[in-house]
Structure 1
């Protein structure tokens, strides 16, 4: 049962909500900027005229507020309270409707009826949101897309789970997750340092821009099938709170987003970009930037050369389904290994080596267990001890990552029982310290994401249906070799 009190509050003591999910207002808004927004987009001037004609607010329309920092902030009824404030002080129309200031009919009876408002005061914003969201299960479906996404973000950041947001809004969990991701991207893009004040004022009103012109580009198919999708170029991913992550240098990542956002939102920035069927390939400035920074063309060539030097050729990109909790789908893992085994005559996955680790793999690590594993994997014949070596390789990778993070005083980044998480932390550390090249970094990320190496490693240990293959193990080691050498020589 909701715990709230009802009281009469003077209209001047009610504050319009700066965090209302339906309001798309600039950062650090003032009460006047909220009034201006409501006049422009929420027809509050007309509402003021209707209240004037009726002599006051209609019965049964509750105003809900919460007391924050000694002020009563309106959570439900912002349009009505704004309209009443305009009637009490018509000068609030000055910025947007100066000609209407003298047209409002304001009587003593009206002033008396709207000077004090009957308000339900909730104990906290979070406790109020359940009531508001439940009321708006149908209403939220009529909100603008970006308003919905903003609501999801406000609720999630306030501590609501995806399940709870879905329950009180009637929106599916998948749409909520998707909305959170898109809202984080739009927030990030609009806060980039490159925008001029003129661009912000003329083109970046969040209520007006078509956000899908930008967000659709991340997953859109490319015209040239050899080119990766934009999200892969950006190495775009999200953490547990749906904030964006990337392995790219931040300056490069931000610049790419800025160029793409200009094409999406700034008229005539790119004549060949129409926002519906276009791809990032239609943005000349972006293509030039990618080429200049060796992100699209040169890095792919370097990546292929790295793989070719190991007689592995082009990487396999078949994905294995994995649940978010990292519990592997056994059938998919088995099928992936089966398919790779059937293709063992393909040059991509064949090797004349009968040992997993070649003799020229030399490290300075003094840890006895790690050195023993390396020596065993140099001696054991892959034709006879494949399962043992698959498990040993996994152990070697885990111990090597921990060895590195301990040596560089970043042991706090070790995530027990989460090998992939520890690998990501190690890779990011090496990127920041600039001890791994862009091509090597990209290659290792693709091994992690596309080949799902850590899901397969876990499958070797936990599932009897996931069977290792000689050539695949060699493929994994040769592509992990660089990071292992860095770790064990640290």
Structure 2
């Protein structure tokens, strides 16, 4: 078979495949962000991004693409493309914790080699079939196992989110998050036992470890009593026995999970669990029994400070804003229309009313920026700059430049007082026309004019974050 032609293509000109066989038919769509989120949710894009950040792309594993107008649809290599897009633009991620995660990873590497990559170009899908069949040697990905899901929750919590915030971000119950986190703590404690037999250590660290069986011991009262622990919202779990007793019991449990096939079917009920504990007691070595502990006793983690049951008002934790506008951000301009728009946007819940938030944020930017130019007597200069021949004003004497033009004028002429070079750079990204960027004027316009585009909560927050240096100036 003749070699297929290769070409160097900018990443911004590569599109995810709407007919990607990895994605179930019901989830297939032309929406690039939706395709990206589907791959991230089910196809280990984060792990691939870490690999790319560490060792780059393998030169022998080129993406296979076909022309699509001036761009190219990736037929083979969608996971790699998703990972690269997220490294360039973390704001494309679906959750705020993922955005922070990809930002941290991107800062650790040089993205320049990924700006343009070599691809194999084919005429159509049929021409790519044989190449894809030869390359596609790995089995299809499966949904996360319970242990992987618990690890994911832990990663999110370690970014600073509470279990409640994790549940809100990913659409599961807070109870499920807390249960998974407790099980993950128990599993992680067991991994610290360095005196386990080698075979048990290997089984414990294997992907095949029956994590759900370990969860049973936390779900059953008899299992908690056997371990000597209780659920605790501050620490995850809290022990009411001596740490040596807990260690001995947990060692017995993980050993039986690994060595006794079908154990999970033997502990289905409270009665089953009590019978198991009674039989297992004979194998537990004698230890001190009276005592207490927290997970930090084994993991060495910093002990979290429990919140007081009735904290004084002066020390009460400030609630997160439900709006895209932070609680401490104020609007002090005297223009009635701007004040009204700001107040209305602050009353919109960005999680439940993403479309309204996105559209209203765009309107606030447009109106407030124009009012700023008028108040600083620069409105005539802006109009003259974009309508030198009075073409637009002949049709409409009240014509004003577009939001893109208003922003461009201010950035090009550095007219915003007190704005730093880095803040100008952040603001300039709003003008990007690259499809990789999600927080741009073009995307804001799509929220308003394109019925197929709906913003995510994170995308609305990303626009605010990039526009905030400007808003601090024009709203005060």
Q: TM-score, normalised by structure 2?
A: 0.34
| Higher relative contact order, chain-length normalized (CA < 8 Å, sep 6+) | 2
Q: TM-score, normalised by structure 1?
A: 0.33
